[in-house]
A = this chain, B = another copy of it.
Amino acid sequence: MDGNTHNLDRYGLEVLNSDECLSLLETRSVGRIAVFGFANPMIVPINYAVDHHTIVFRTGPGTKLWESATQDSRVAFEVDELDENEMEAWSVSLTGRAERITDQGVIARLEGLGLRNWVKGAEAFWFRVTPSIIEGRRLVQK
């Protein structure tokens, strides 16, 4: 991506386009997801993969994420790389709705992605978030 000219936002951060955002999402495997269908919204870490410009993840019954995702609720999702020593940073944020994946052919393909869940037992079902908005920023070194 270097060599591209980026717009800067009012605080001097590079504004990443959606292709750059998706490319960065593919470099990581843990993000943070927030659900909103509750009196007390929470952000939690989650293992994810990128599949055809969407985010896929697994979760299971008993989690807030599960409760929200099965209600087809809005989620926000964020991935970043923040090096506190190097002062290098990028962040990609998106919002969309989580939908349960039920197509067994799709599930079989996703199982082959090698997505590893840190939380064992919470892998019962696959969900997909199709971004309605995706935004990214990168801190420019001075």
Residues of A within 8 A of B (CB): 10-13, 29-30, 32, 34, 36, 40-45, 60, 62-63, 74, 76-78, 80, 82, 84, 87, 89, 91, 93-95, 118-122, 132-133, 135, 139
Bound-state Cα–Cα, A32 to B93, Å? 11
The contact of A42 among B13, B63, B87, B93, by CB within 8 Å, is: B93
Least CB distance, A44 to chain B, in whole angstroms: 6
Kindly list chain B residues whose C-beta atoms are within 8 Å of the C-beta of A120.
11-12
Bound-state Cα–Cα, A11 to B58, Å? 13
Least CB distance, A66 to chain B, in whole angstroms: 11
> Are A44 and B93 neighbours in the complex by a CB distance under 8 Å?
yes
